[in-house]
Amino acid sequence: MSRTLRVAAAQLGPIHLADSRAQVIKRLLALLEEAHAAGCRLVVFPELALTTFFPRWWSEDQAEIDAYFETEMPGPETQPLFDRAKELGMGFYLGYAELTEEAGKVRHFNTSILVAPDGRLIGKYRKIHLPGHSEHLLDAPFQHLEKKYFEVGNLGFPVWRAFDGIVGMCICNDRRWPETFRVMGLQGVELVALGYNTPTENIHHPEPVHLRMFHNHVTMQANAYQNGTWVVATAKCGAEDGFPMIGGSCIIAPTGEIAAQALTEDDEVIAFNCDLDLCDYIKRTIFNFEKNRRIEHYGLITERTGVVLPPKS
Ligand code: ING
């Protein structure tokens, strides 16, 4: 009997500055109901799913910045999502801005949690690859201040036995780095849940718009195949206060094929029956790590951070 897990990517359309958390929770609850009606047991919501993508805005007022963060999860405003999911017997991945205190220090992370169908917190992940910049780019059409507003995650890339399989998490820019998936692949991951907020325009270098979606999918398809894992990737998308972000939420098989993809840039549920046993032949043959990896030749990957060019002859 194969281990089939019916999973939903619950894509969110724009969340504007003026939208309240209560309004967003209402949308998340509607997506949860739709995923339940579609027979799903796990729902993947986007990165920073409770607010607008606030790293696009420059601020030096810490109170203003902290207002985008959650100091408890669940808190009074998010509790209804946890309660309804438990009633429906559904687990979920939720991305949010986490404000916490560790060793007497206030910490700010771009975080995701994995919640079990019985409401138990299975695990937490804090975004490690923070893109963008920390300075105010005065000439840019918008900012991308994740390096200013968040700290680098301190929980590594763990996986958990959950939903009858091995599940891991990452967040947005993490999906562009093969190391993210390989570390989880070396722990046997069978399904990686991730959310993303990806601006349509590249403020760092002019490039054709179609490349945004191409890079979004190619990187996840490759990493799914190279680690024999399902990838469920959910966008928050559409134009937030006029700033467009790409959709393209998708469910990718361990073969690297896109099994389901969102059609809109609005609230939308896509679902697929993920056969977790499909991971097996990829992990056992072409990407049998034990048999085929040669770590004695990979030293630079962890010894060296940036590029060192060969000497000029
Ligand atoms: N967003 C973008 C992402 O990695 C980005 C930032 C876009 C970086 C395109 C490089 C190229 O999808 C977040 N939130 O990481």
CATH classification at residue 254: 3.60.110.10
| Nearest atom, ligand 1, residue 171 CA | 15
Q: What's the pLDDT at 76?
A: 97
Q: Is 85 exposed, middle or buried (0-12, 13-18, 19+ CB in 10 A)?
A: buried
Pocket test for ligand 1, best of 110, 173, 177, 234 (most atoms within 8 A of CB): 173
Q: Say if ligand 1 is within 6 A of residue 109 CB.
A: no
Q: What's the pLDDT at 3?
A: 97
Its domain, for residue 104, covers: 4-285
Which residues, including other chains, have CB under 8 Å from residue 27's CB and lie 6 or more apart?
12, 267
Q: Is 179 a catalytic residue?
A: no
Q: What is the DSSP code (8-state) at residue 189?
A: -
> Is 303 within a domain?
no
> Is 147 within a domain?
yes
Q: How far is CA 73 from CA 76, 78, 114, 144, 271, in A?
A: 9, 7, 12, 25, 26
Pocket test for ligand 1, best of 15, 48, 144 (most atoms within 8 A of CB): 144
| Whole-angstrom distance, CA of residue 143 vs CA of residue 199 | 10
> Is 113 within a domain?
yes
| Nearest atom, ligand 1, residue 110 CA | 14
> Is 249 within a domain?
yes
Residue 135 Cα to ligand 1 midpoint, Å, equals 17
Instruction: List per-block mean pLDDT (blocks of 10 residues) for the chain, which spans 313 residues.
Output: 96 98 98 98 99 98 98 98 98 99 97 98 98 96 97 98 98 98 99 98 92 98 99 98 98 99 99 98 98 98 98 95
Q: What's the pLDDT at 92?
A: 99
Q: How far is CA 242 from CA 53, 65, 123, 152, 301, in A?
A: 12, 20, 34, 29, 40
Q: Is 40 a catalytic residue?
A: no
| Nearest atom, ligand 1, residue 55 CA | 14
> Is 306 within a domain?
no
Q: What's the pLDDT at 204?
A: 87
Which residues, including other chains, have CB under 8 Å from residue 40's CB and lie 6 or more apart?
6, 7, 8, 90, 271
Q: What's the pLDDT at 267?
A: 99
Number of helices and strands in the chain (H, E): 9, 14
Residue 199 Cα to ligand 1 midpoint, Å, equals 7
> Is 175 within a domain?
yes
> Is 157 within a domain?
yes
Distance of CA 312 to the CA centre of its chain: 41
Q: Say if ligand 1 is within 6 A of residue 173 CB.
A: yes
Q: What's the pLDDT at 180?
A: 99
Q: Is 148 a catalytic residue?
A: no
Count of structural domains within the chain: 1
| Catalytically annotated residue among 70, 98, 127, 268 | 127
| Nearest atom, ligand 1, residue 176 CA | 4
Q: Say if ligand 1 is within 6 A of residue 227 CB.
A: no
Residue 146 Cα to ligand 1 midpoint, Å, equals 10
Q: What's the pLDDT at 20?
A: 97
Q: What's the pLDDT at 1?
A: 84
| Catalytically annotated residue among 40, 47, 146, 274 | 47
> Is 100 within a domain?
yes
Residue 83 Cα to ligand 1 midpoint, Å, equals 32
Q: Say if ligand 1 is within 6 A of residue 217 CB.
A: no
| Catalytically annotated residue among 40, 70, 148, 172 | 172
